[in-house]
Amino acid sequence: MRMAENTLSVLKIAPGQCPQQVEIDNDLKALQQAVGGSIGASYPFADPVAIVYNDDGKLMGLPLNRALRDENGQMYDAVAGDFLVVGLGEEDFASLTPELAQKYEQLFHQPEAFLKLGNHLLVLPVPDEPPTEKPRTKPPAEHDR
């Protein structure tokens, strides 16, 4: 049997921020600290990764962070509060491989904002930079060739 790693290289994703690669201790206390409470784990992807989140995040009213989408891009759930993307070992969480870290950094790169419209939740990507006023230019005339 392989010994579990003492520290894990994982992605930490906070609401409104891009994912950060962080090292955390591979124990329950460190995982709980990272997500701010009791942990839950979800395995929504085919890759050997888990999402570790605050199990009570929605009940506590933590801000919604990222949408989870099915293979058709339809949102089926949203993660509230900070969460981690961790690798899966034989019996325990493990560090993400560089390839998986890159893949999930790209997947969750864009922060999202959630807008409640009646019974619907609208998910909007948050731009990286605030938009700046672009100088207004006259469109080129059709016959300028």
Q: What percent of the chain has pLDDT over 90?
A: 74
Query: Per residue in 31-70, pLDDT tens?
Result: 999 999 999 999 999 999 999 999 999 999 999 999 999 9
Q: What is the pTM of this model?
A: 0.83
Number of residues that this document lists for the chain: 145
Name residue 51's beta-bridge partners. Answer: 42, 85
Question: CA 82, CA 127: separation in Å to the nearest integer?
Answer: 19
Phi, psi of 109 (to 5 degrees): -60, -45
Residues 13, 85 contacting (CB under 8 angstroms): yes
Question: CA 79, CA 59: separation in Å to the nearest integer?
Answer: 12
